[in-house]
Amino acid sequence: MDPRAGTPAQPSDLIDVDAVVGAYYDLVPDLDDPAQRVVFGTSGHRGSSLDHAFNEAHIIATTQAIVEYRRSQGTDGPLYIGRDTHALSEPAWRTAIEVLGAAGVETYVDARDSWTPTPAVSLAILTHNGAATSDGVRTHGPGLADGIVVTPSHNPPRDGGFKYNPPHGGPAGSEATSWIADRANEILRSGVGQVRRMPFEQAIAAETTRKHDFLTSYVDDLSNVIDMDVIRTSGVQIGADPLGGAAVEYWGEIAERYDIDLTVVNPEVDPRWSFMTLDWDGKIRMDCSSPSAMASLVSKMVSTGSTGGGGAGPMHGGGAPFDIATGNDADADRHGIVTPDAGLMNPNHFLAVAIHYLYGGARPGWGDGAAIGKTLVSSSLIDRVGASLGRRVIEVPVGFKWFVPGLLDGSVGFGGEESAGASFLRSDGRVWTTDKDGILLALLGSEILASTGRTPSQHHAELVAEHGESWYARVDAPATLDEKATLAKLSPEQVSATSLAGEEITAKLTSAPGNDAPIGGLKVTTESSWFAARPSGTENVYKIYAESFRSAEHLEQVQAEAKDVVSAALGG
């Protein structure tokens, strides 16, 4: 933990926007360095122009690769493209428009020439393709649509990001991203000068470049997935902090459109993010699940609020400025929930509360067959809540892409990740988005409070009383490249341990029980604890997620022995 974590950013912490943007155009990647190639992680290609990892050449090549990929898949409809507020997002967006225009791809850009949250792009794709319409009919034109979101999510201000969403509206799977990355790197090697481009002014005015009102389409449709009436009539007072991201205009429109008592806590947009408090490592990072990054909003809520769960509004009459406050990351695909009685909720805690509320009677239109989706590193409290509700819990590997098929056909009602990303079905059981929706989950927190009169953190306390308290954490351990590769391909037979932290091991998993997909690591469970180990995609470490339902001390023992179990399996 950096000693300045949670304190306001200082001038020395801020990026030079001109230098970052200038490097985007001026620096050329060296493909002999793997760190300078196009690499798609779970959420697209990310990097900094200053590191030769996110430059104009990367975006020319990647966009051309997407043009070729969608053509090879028969995706002949429009492409919806959005961007967030990072300094590199607009330059990359402009580059993509130049390539798409020259390729003759029908491209829909934001009608306001502004920022677009990831869920708004997902919704646009699904609506065009008929998946999100009541009659299943495409909204306009022939052909299937797909999309691009220019965002590095919650990454620091110096970074850029570029991700592709195919016609199912969610994050692209590894088959697509591997093809796109490989082809992009081929183009980089042969020279991006071969790629046809059109001057931006010509491309943005081309007949194939059209306008789409992402904001109105998204906001007007929200009442079909969130009970906006109960939020309005309850008088719940909401503070929404977009953290300088793409949701800033959306929150203002939501407040006006539905006449709810919602204040945009900080409407400022600054590509340096000078108003942020520093994250755990002393960097500026728009992580709405981090207590350090959210310190400013948390301090507003808990320093003046009552400790007994009261807020400031007519619902509770306490001293905090709002009954509930929320945060989003830069592309609004993650959520943070802040209550006067508990501060920033652990993402796992809110996921469990959301599931208990939604499946406990708030969404009768989902039907009895809608399962609960969770990643294998999410809290086991979700499993216990699911069992108490008589619902099937589907445990999948890390990555929201695994929830896409179930959300699309309605067989999964709710899909959530431990990293504060989730989405769920419309009230009638049809798909809403197949990508993470931080605005949606933030509004759900307000619906829970408005409908029940209790904050989500109070609901979590009730779940703990019923199912037991747990302690959850993630730590990193050093690993070489060879060790990371071995960990990613472990088999259960390579794990010789029979006990963990004083308990018999009940399962050794290298594939997810929900869909039998490889987890790229190892999960070990006992009666009251578990750990999962996965190699990092960016650093020479592996990540250990662990949880204990016994005590904080037991969690530390699980973490310590987890390193020994993994080391032995790796031959250490």
Active site residues per annotation: 153
Instruction: Determine how many CB atoms are found less than 10 A away from the CB of residue 504.
Output: 9
Please give the C-alpha separations between residue 132 and each of 111, 236, 424, 426, in angstroms, as whole numbers.
21, 29, 13, 9
DSSP bridge partners of 160: 47
- Strands (DSSP E) contained in 412-564 are 412-417, 421-424, 471-478, 499-500, 503-504, 507-511, 518-525, 529-535, 541-548
Q: What does the block give as tokens for 217?
A: 């389409």
DSSP-based three-state secondary structure for 375: strand
Selection from 161, 348, 122, 332 nearest residue 241 by Cα: 332
Contact 545, 477 (CB under 8 A): no
d(CA 534, CA 512): 13
Query: Residue 445 belongs to what H/E stretch?
Result: helix 438-452
d(CA 542, CA 257): 46
d(CA 514, CA 371): 11
Selection from 512, 482, 501, 513 nearest residue 565 by Cα: 501
Contact 122, 149 (CB under 8 A): no
Contact 202, 75 (CB under 8 A): no
Q: What does the block give as tokens for 349?
A: 């805690």
Q: What does the block give as tokens for 509?
A: 């998993």
DSSP-based three-state secondary structure for 262: strand
Q: What does the block give as tokens for 186?
A: 């081929």
d(CA 397, CA 507): 16
d(CA 403, CA 555): 29
Q: At what angle do helices 174-190 and 56-72 cross, to 10 degrees?
A: 130
Please give the C-alpha separations between residue 297 and each of 132, 145, 275, 301, 363, in angstroms, as whole numbers.
34, 38, 11, 7, 31
Q: What does the block give as tokens for 470?
A: 């747990």
d(CA 439, CA 265): 14
How far, in whole angstroms, is CA 294 from its chain's centroid? Answer: 16
